[in-house]
Structure formats: structure tokens, C-alpha cells
Amino acid sequence: MKTKLYTIACIGLSAFALTSCLQYDDPGAELSSTQEIADEEWHSGDVDRIDFQKLPTEEGVKAAIAKLETKFKQSKTAQYSLRGGKEGNVPQAHAYQFQYSLGPDAYAQYFVVPHKDFPYSNATLTSSYDISEKFNGGPRGSYYMVKNALMPLLNHPMIDSIPEIKAVNLLYYSLAAQEMADLSGPFTYLEDKKNSKNPTDYNDLKTIYFGIVDNLDTIVACLKNYDTRPEWYKKLVDEILLNHHVTSRRLIYGEPGIKSYIAFANSLKLRMALHIVKADPVNARKWAEEAVASGVIEDPDDQQGIFPMLIGFNHPLSGISAWGDLRMSASLETLLMSLDHPNATYLWMKNSTEIENEKSKEVLEAGERVVGIRTGTYVGDGQGSGVNPYIGYSTFNTSVMNSAPLYFVKYAEVCFLRAEGAIRGWNMGGTAEQFYNEGIRNAYIEDPNNAFNSKYVQLVASYMNKENPTPYVQRDPLGGKDWESLTKIGVKWNEADDREVKLEKIITQKYLALFPLSTEAWTELRRTGYPKLFPVLNPEDGDGTLAEGDIIRRIPWLPIDPQDQEIIANSGVPALGGQDFQYTRLWWDAPTPNF
């Protein structure tokens, strides 16, 4: 299979301009992997070590707080950067677009970019798998912003006087590292944790995964010890959390937030356990059972993420949609319609303009039906429906999306993880049916504070009783090929189903519940092959390694700087265990059966 050679944006990402309709913004600088947070000091400590059994003096803790105040503020920068924030600001459309919408959103087949031209970025995307030198590294930019914000704090010697704060910030970094690893594979994980100024040693994915889980275990042990601390100490720690941390719903409510961080850490461990079930089934079971026994998310108020409704901003996807930079995918349309999913009735809008069939000249009048674009379609130029009919395809209802949380780990996801563990015979603390149904009930997109008013919640009982799919054919109003739905399963749990059917049901509902967190949806699609989505059109438009029926397995590094090319060749590729291509599978993405 012939591969294409590209000169693509470097690993450091400094060449990226996070712009689509972005003539008024040029936020690329903060994505440099070599950027250092301004500081009079540089430290390289022991990030993995958290001495939570040692109690410093009150004087010592107050001195540490005074010294680290500026670095505490960088923690909020990291928290926002996990979901499209930059420079300490809440998530915004520009950065979010580069992190998700120009890559993982399409790879998960949630959205399609409905135009190929990006004049303000001087870039094009011929189709969904095409590689643009301006966009290729965008999804990795989040990791570098998180790392650059947190490593000066985590490596500072005085942070060891406040171990719980070290633990919570290491937890944010652990999430960033897990998501980074699942995008492209190996990276300089161990050197990054040492605050190295010029990291060159790429670690393999197994090393990264085991390192993260070791950190998660230490974090949980530290936070579980918190209740033994004296009141003066807990008051000081609580003040830091309240002033500089925005990811815990309980903290936002003014409640003690440590419990939610414990649940978050264990839930992340559970997620990673299922990721490696093919590569290392023994440790997968061990991690999963340990996580559940220690305490995962079991209450919507223990979910962690960035919450627009509670903080006071609109979901960045709304801005991207308003620019005409994303529209619904045909696979998502078909899945929702085949299952009569509640979201099809109120989250997704019908076509906004009339669309004329290029072959038959039949006209689909505006507002007739929900209609998506096939992933990989050669779309038009321009972001207005007057020049590009694809802009008139369906997008979401912004009044619903605006308040949707940007989850780190959603309660519904945890339920589906436990359901999968249960069908594998693991001790998940309940039955697969119990967790599956609980996951569906809590899969609404709205903030939990709005759940009582959610149409999803109102319709979910009848949805859960759907035994068979509704026959559905996806018809492209512009005249593309009709495609019959690939979904042949219903929604209702049936204990008589074999394990493969049960897994398909679990992952399909998980995919719908995760929306719009495309990074995790894409990971599960690669790992399990579910849900069943339409084949991607024109897969050869990528780096030339994908054939018809293939899906993209990883985002290639494709560095342009000669020094970076040498590092990738000497360290990155050996750690990956394959070439720097889109088809190369990551360690956990084994080409073996699910059972």
C-alpha cells in the first residue's frame, strides 16, 4: 500500500493557528510543547511520591501556600485546558475546535466538517481523514497546556507540604496523559513528569498506562487519608480547592469535594482497565475490581468536568456550529433513528435550508427531517448555505447544548464500564443489566440540575423497552448513495443474548451517552468495533495507509523539524512498535476478538 509523504506540524505544535473563522484570534503560541510557565525558579522533583502520612506544621503549610499561590492559579488553567480552555479562560470554541472538532469528532463519527476550506487558517480538509499540517497536532495541544501548567507546581519542593493538593493536580495530569496516550500512542511521559526542558525519550503505552494507574492508586490513598487530618489543615486545603478548582460539582455547591476526587480517580482507573482488556486481560480485571471496591462514581453529583451552567458560559460546540464548521454525521443520524433515541426528538434540528438533489432535482424543503453527512464526503466550499448546501444539514439545538457539561468521566460511562466488566465475569458490585439500565437512565446531555426538565428523562422509560430496531435507510438529500442502517440490535436488555450482543448493546448506548466526548467514543470504537457505523468514504485521503473499510487507528506525529524527526525515528517509532501511520494500532488496540 503506497503511503503519502507529508510535511506536517511538529510535535511541539507551535505552528498551529487555532483558527477557523479566526481572523481575529491567533492563540497558537500556548500550544508549544517547549513552552515554560514564567517563573524565577525551575524544579525537578518526584511527582510520583506523595507523602500523605507526614503532617507538616501549620506554619509550614501556610508558608507553602504563600509560595505556591501563583502556581495554584495555573491549576485552573490546566483544568480548563483539558476541555478546550486556554490562558486560564473557560473552554472556548477556537481551542475546542482544534482539540476535538477537526479530528476526533470526525473519527468517532459524531460530526462532519461540512466545508473543506479554512481561508483564515490557509488550510484545507479534503475529507474527514485528510491530514492538514495546520490541524494534525491540535488534539495533542491540550496535553501540552496541561503539562506546562502543572509540572512547575507538581515538581516544586513545597507542594509536598500539602499532599492532597499535589494529589488532585496529579489527577488532572493523569487524565491528560491517558487521553494523550490514546490519541497517538507513546510520548515523553516519564521525562515530562520530571519537568524536563528538552524531553526526547518516548515511553511505550504499557509503561504510560501502568505509570498512570500507580499514580491513581497513590492519589486515592492520599485522599482517603484526608479525614484523619486536623481541622486547621483541612480548612486550609478546602480554601485552596474552593479558590482554584472548578471541576467538582460538590465544591461548586460549597460541599466537601474530596470524595468526588476519589471517585474520579477510581473511575479513570476503571476506564483504563477496560481499555487494556485485550492486551492484558489479567491486569484489566485486577484494575477494574480494585477500582470498584475502592469507590467509583455512583452519584451524578460526583461527576467531574467543566460545567457551563454552573460556571456561566456556553458550550464551545455552539460557537463552532454557528460558524458552519460542523454538522451531524450520517452514522449518528442513522443510529438515533434506528433506536428511536430521545435525542432525535429534541437535541437535533432538522435541515435548516432546502436541499436539492443533484441527480433527481427533488427538493428537501427546509425543516423536513434530521439529516447527517457521510463521514469522508467530499463537501463543498464556504460556510454559508447559499454557496454550500452541506451547511443546511442538521446540527444540534444550541439551547440544549449550551448547558451541557464537558465531562472528564460521566456517571453513565462508569455504569457502562461496570456493565461490561460484569458480562466478563468480573466483580463489579452488581449485574450487567442493573448497570446497563442505570447508564441509559443517566445518559442525558443536560446538566444534572436540568435533568428534571429533560425530554430525554421524560422519554427514557419507553426507549429502554425497545426490543428491536426500527428499519431505517439513510438518504442523502444531495443524491449520494442510500445506506441501510447497520444497527440490528434493540435497546431492551435481554439476559438470553450472547456476550457479543450484550457488548454491542453496552458500547452502543455508551457511545450515545458519551456524546460529545469524541476522544473516548473513538477509543471504544477502535477497541470493540462498536457501535456499527457506516464505512468512512475516501479513507485513502489520509496518509495513504487506510483502505476501504478501515478506520483511523491513531493520529500520526508527522514532525517537520529535523531534530524532532530524529527523535521520532530513534525513540517514538520503537516505542510505538510500528510506523508513524494512521493504520498503526496502539498497544491496547489488539486485532483479536472481544471475547
pLDDT digits (tens), the chain, 595 positions: 444 443 333 333 333 333 333 333 333 333 333 334 444 589 999 999 999 999 889 999 999 999 999 999 999 999 999 999 999 999 999 999 999 999 999 999 999 999 999 988 899 999 999 999 899 999 999 999 999 999 999 999 999 999 999 999 999 999 999 999 999 999 999 999 999 999 999 999 999 999 999 999 999 999 999 999 999 999 999 999 999 999 999 988 888 889 999 999 999 999 999 999 999 999 999 999 999 999 999 999 999 999 999 999 999 999 999 999 999 999 999 999 999 999 999 999 999 999 999 999 999 999 999 999 999 999 999 998 789 999 999 999 999 999 999 999 999 999 999 999 999 999 999 999 999 999 999 999 999 999 989 999 999 999 999 999 999 999 999 999 999 999 999 999 999 999 999 999 999 999 999 999 999 999 999 999 999 999 999 999 999 999 999 999 999 999 988 999 999 999 999 999 999 999 999 999 999 999 9
Task: For residue 163, give the H/E element and its range.
Answer: helix 163-184
Coil, helix or strand at residue 189: helix
Decide: 492 and 466 in contact? Cβ < 8 Å: yes
CB-facing half-sphere around the CA of 591: CA atoms within 13 A: 6
Q: Tally DSSP H helices, then E strands, for the chain.
A: 23, 10
- Residues paired with residue 203 on neighbouring β-strands, in sequence order: 187
- Residues paired with residue 244 on neighbouring β-strands, in sequence order: none
- What is each CA distance from 29 to 18, 35, 86, 95, 570, in whole angstroms? 9, 8, 10, 12, 27
Coil, helix or strand at residue 355: strand
Q: What is the dihedral of CA 130, 135, 139, 143, to 10 degrees?
A: 150
Per-residue pLDDT tens digits for 280-339 = 999 999 999 999 999 999 999 999 999 999 999 999 999 999 999 999 999 999 999 999
Residue burial 418-438, b: 16+ Cβ < 10 Å; e: rest: bbbbbbbebebeeebebbbbb
Phi, psi of 7 (to 5 degrees): -110, 100
CA-CA distance, 502 to 494, in Å (whole number)?
Answer: 8
CA-CA distance, 493 to 488, in Å (whole number)?
Answer: 14
Domains, the chain:
27-311 (1.25.40.390), 327-528 (1.25.40.390)
Decide: 293 and 74 in contact? Cβ < 8 Å: no
Pick the closest to residue 142 from 110, 106, 111, 184 (CA basis): 184
In 10 A of CB 22, how many CB atoms?
19
- Residues paired with residue 304 on neighbouring β-strands, in sequence order: 248, 409
Contacts by 589-594 with C-beta closer than 8 Å and gap 24+? 589/278, 589/526, 589/527, 589/553, 590/278, 590/279, 592/278, 594/278, 594/499, 594/500, 594/503, 594/528, 594/529
Coil, helix or strand at residue 559: coil
| pLDDT at residue 257, rounded to an integer | 85
CA-CA distance, 328 to 106, in Å (whole number)?
Answer: 10
Per-residue pLDDT tens digits for 64-89 = 999 999 999 999 999 999 999 999 99
* Residue 170, Ramachandran bin (φ over 0: left; ψ between -120 and 50: alpha; else beta): alpha
CA-CA distance, 257 to 527, in Å (whole number)?
Answer: 33
CA-CA distance, 317 to 342, in Å (whole number)?
Answer: 20
- Residues paired with residue 415 on neighbouring β-strands, in sequence order: none
CA-CA distance, 486 to 334, in Å (whole number)?
Answer: 8
- With 0-12 / 13-18 / 19 or more C-beta atoms within 10 angstroms meaning exposed / middle / buried, residue 256 is middle
Q: Give the list of residues 6+ apart from residue 149 with CB closer than 8 angstroms, or none.
A: 37, 74, 75, 77, 78, 81
Pick the closest to residue 105 from 521, 528, 408, 549 (CA basis): 521
- The DSSP 8-state label assigned to residue 248 in this structure reads B
Q: What pTM was estimated for this model as a whole?
A: 0.94
Decide: 494 and 77 in contact? Cβ < 8 Å: no
487494556: which residue's cell? 276
Residue 532 C-alpha cell reads as 456499527
429533560: which residue's cell? 454
CA-CA distance, 233 to 226, in Å (whole number)?
Answer: 9
Phi, psi of 123 (to 5 degrees): -140, 160
CA-CA distance, 390 to 314, in Å (whole number)?
Answer: 25
Decide: 523 and 534 in contact? Cβ < 8 Å: no
